Structure 1
Amino acid sequence: MSEQPAAQADDRRETSDERLDRNWDSLLQELRVTQTGTQILSGFLLAVAFQPRFTELDGYQIAVYLALVSVAAITTAVGLGPVSLHRILFRRHAMAQVVRIGNVLVRITLAGVAIVLTGTTLLIFDVVLGRAAGLAAAAAVLALTLLIWLIVPRSVRPDGP
């Protein structure tokens, strides 16, 4: 490990390697939480095709369903990307690249989760209450997701709540 302290904007006394390890640990924790949600949504979507009412879906609902299954599968693969990347680059002194690329993959995963979450809401409300209710519910979920995931974090000041 490097013995030189990293240039910091905060009061941490850590080396560059320690900072990379801390950042990697944070990414892994985010992936653990995200992966659980992705797996639950994906499992739900996979089970839908085997339900008796699936044959009653119209063309639009089937298209939404297939798009959601595709996005869920891609999101799962992308969400596992940082772990695979780390495994391949393990002991090659590439932690900076692993953290940088892992960060990008986690962001893509979150976007995929937002799409699947919104789309699943759309599909369920569309099937149960109709197209207008499906679109309204999806818009509400998307708006809330954007608010919590993008707008609130940008309003946080480093010096306080």
Structure 2
Amino acid sequence: MVHLDFPITNNEAKYEALVEGLDLAKAMGATNVIVYCDSQVVTSQVNSDFECKGEKMKRYLEQLDLVDEVKATTEQRLARYQNLMAKHYNSRVKHRDFQVRDLVLRKVMGATRDPSQGKLGPNWEGPYRIASWQRKGTYHLETLDRKKLHNLWNTKHLKKYYQYTMA
């Protein structure tokens, strides 16, 4: 517990506690510190969201050199974590590219689903042929007898159709 024997404002008291706490953490060899603060002013000044105007407050901020070190370490850890999460997410993404004239099935969606079949109805319909592509991941489809469908279809609603012929 920190006891202050001089008149001080609430925000100055919070800075004093922050400085003492970080000094203690540094002395103990802490490499990671989580700081909780109930003062929006102090938190915003430390995070550089608010400008520090008072001379006393500026001196407190100058004492917080450790905060810059902690910020740098935290930013590095955050970047590593974000890269790891992106790598994990991207490993689960199925990359699908179709060529013109490929045969595909299209997902049966809400309005095209037959309500009389309930949940046991087909999830995919087709086959359809890729007639052309609008931009990456967006395709014009046509039936096998070359009748064009009016809407564009996104890759996530299509899957490759493999046709087998038995001789």
User: TM-score if structure 1 supplies the norm length?
Assistant: 0.25
Q: Which has the larger helix fraction?
A: 1
Larger radius of gyration: 2
More strand by share: 2
Q: Which structure is richer in relative contact order (CA contacts within 8 A, separation 6 or more)?
A: 1
Q: Scaled by the length of structure 2, what TM-score is found?
A: 0.24
